Amino acid sequence: LNKVKKWVKGRVSAKRFKHIKGVVEVGARLANSCGEDPFPVELSCWLHDSCKEIKAEELLRMAEGFGLEITEAERRNGHLLHGPVGACVSGKEFGITSHDVLSGISEHTLGSAKMTRVSKLVYLADILEASRPEALTSPIWQALCSGKQLEEKGLEPDLDAAILTASDLVLSHLI
């Protein structure tokens, strides 16, 4: 993780690095609450925005170079490719082959119908990071925790309810 952290720090602005660090903290907390191994979650969180500051045109070129299937929406909004391209770059740079880790990086922005638990945790950690507005995060935490403290004994966080709430809020904002 230290090698990855150093590599990411050299690729992003100080503001972005602070966000990434916050995502790692939330991801570790969520993983522990779910009884999930925190390592793949933290690794995915460290790498999730490693390509975020690459220009949209370059992301599109890189995605094509990696042979990724590119949707029309991604062609029009190249920044949406920072996750999938980040997964490819991270895999190549660090020899990562874990489907959980790579999907966590790739799917953190738009999600996927077939998200792994790691992917769900990274998605939620990104949207629940401390710099996000409380109007966004509060309903997601509520859905995740069913109104209880996350650390409460015996509570299994409801990842799907939280993702549904997050998706509804983001879509409402975009519309």
- pLDDT in the model for residue 14: 98
- pLDDT in the model for residue 171: 87
Task: Provide the greatest CA pair distance for the chain.
Answer: 48
- pLDDT in the model for residue 148: 57
Total-model pTM:
0.92
- pLDDT in the model for residue 40: 98
- pLDDT in the model for residue 175: 84
**Rounded Cα gap, residues 81 and 54, in angstroms:** 10
- pLDDT in the model for residue 151: 54
**Rounded Cα gap, residues 5 and 2, in angstroms:** 5
3-state secondary structure the chain: CHHHHHHHHCCCCHHHHHHHHHHHHHHHHHHHHHCCCHHHHHHHHHHCCCCCCCCHHHHHHHHHHCCCCCCHHHHHCHHHHHHHHHHHHHHHHHCCCCHHHHHHHHCCCCCCCCCCHHHHHHHHHHHHCCCCCHHHHHHHHHHHHCCCCCCCCCCCCCHHHHHHHHHHHHHHHHC
Residues of the chain predicted below pLDDT 70: 147-155
- pLDDT in the model for residue 125: 98
Residue 18 near residue 129 (C-beta atoms within 8 A): no
